[in-house]
């Protein structure tokens, strides 16, 4: 049986769809990963086997081949751990393969089955939303992924919890958007004395989203006004924060 799990490769600020194919077949027992994996991807074999062992599962004494397609694109990063593990479980018949048909999966596995955060979850969520797919990611990054918009996010803390969710035994709650604590640094506009005309121009530019050119001799207050400008800007909308037009 061949199981398919979708994940992404991160290319700078872009994401490329990767199909993780897992086959368990007759032959000498072994675990082989192909498709130009780097050292971190090759080592996922040990993390995945340890995580499955923590759940009381063991790989069958058969030949296991993990193919990362397209094969000509170099793969790097530990975020392939979780899709490889789910592909194995689907090939073993532990979970239904159709449960993974319309999702992107990213996550690093600990030896005890915990799902650890990985870089690029927001980018993966945006990729999933763009293509009408769901996303499975670490629980610690569910709030980050929820900012991607209309995407079904499953944020799991542990491999066992994820399996229970996929089987319908114990469903995980959808994550809510999380916000980092806002820390204001620099001067406040109210602290600037005088410069009423200049402050008025800055306020108009901030309110209307206009460009602003400051000109004047050194010491006239240009840098001070520029440093105070962020303090009067309105909060960004989700689309603005993500740079989506």
Chain segment 182-224, per-residue pLDDT in tens: 677 778 888 888 889 999 999 999 988 899 999 989 988 899 9
Chain segment 117-161, per-residue pLDDT in tens: 999 999 999 999 999 999 999 999 999 999 998 899 999 999 999
Burial of 229 from C-beta contacts in 10 A (0-12 / 13-18 / 19+):
middle
For residues 135 and 216, state if they share a domain. no
For residues 138 and 210, state if they share a domain. no
Residue 235 lies in a domain: yes
For residues 138 and 216, state if they share a domain. no
Closest C-alpha to 145, from 154, 76, 13? 154
Lowest mean pLDDT among 6-15, 21-30, 49-58: 6-15
Residues 6 or more apart whose Cβ sits within 8 Å of residue 171: 165
Residue 29 lies in a domain: yes
Chain segment 37-73, per-residue pLDDT in tens: 999 999 999 999 999 999 999 998 999 999 999 999 9
For residues 208 and 145, state if they share a domain. no
For residues 227 and 109, state if they share a domain. no
For residues 152 and 78, state if they share a domain. yes
Tokens of 190: 């109210």
pLDDT bin (cut points 50, 70, 90) of residue 98 is confident
For residues 115 and 214, state if they share a domain. no
Residue 224 has a pLDDT of 92
Mean pLDDT computed over 91-99: 91
For residues 68 and 159, state if they share a domain. yes
- Count other Cβ atoms within 10 Å, centred on residue 228: 19
């Amino acid at each position: 049986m061949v199981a398919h799990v979708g994940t992404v490769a991160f290319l700078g600020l872009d994401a490329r769809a990767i199909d993780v194919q897992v086959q368990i077949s007759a032959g000498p027992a072994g675990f082989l990963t192909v498709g130009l994996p780097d050292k971190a991807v090759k080592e996922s074999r040990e993390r995945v086997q340890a995580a499955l062992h923590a759940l009381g599962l063991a790989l069958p004494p058969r030949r296991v081949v993990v193919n990362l397609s397209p094969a000509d694109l170099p793969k790097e990063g530990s975020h392939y751990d979780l899709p490889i593990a789910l592909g194995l479980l689907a090939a073993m018949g532990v979970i239904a393969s159709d449960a993974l048909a319309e999702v992107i999966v990213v996550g690093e596995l600990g030896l005890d089955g915990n799902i650890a955060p990985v870089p690029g979850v927001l980018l993966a969520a945006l990729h999933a939303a763009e293509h009408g797919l769901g996303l499975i990611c670490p629980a610690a990054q569910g709030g980050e992924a929820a900012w991607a918009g209309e995407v079904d996010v499953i944020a799991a803390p542990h491999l066992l919890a994820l399996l229970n969710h996929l089987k319908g035994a114990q469903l995980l709650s959808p994550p809510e958007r999380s916000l980092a604590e806002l820390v204001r640094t620099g001067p406040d506009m109210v602290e600037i004395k005088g410069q009423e005309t200049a402050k008025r121009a800055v306020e108009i530019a901030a309110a209307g989203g206009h460009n602003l050119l400051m000109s004047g001799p050194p010491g006239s207050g240009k840098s001070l006004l520029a440093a105070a400008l962020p303090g009067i800007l309105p909060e960004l909308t989700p689309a603005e924060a993500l740079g989506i037009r």
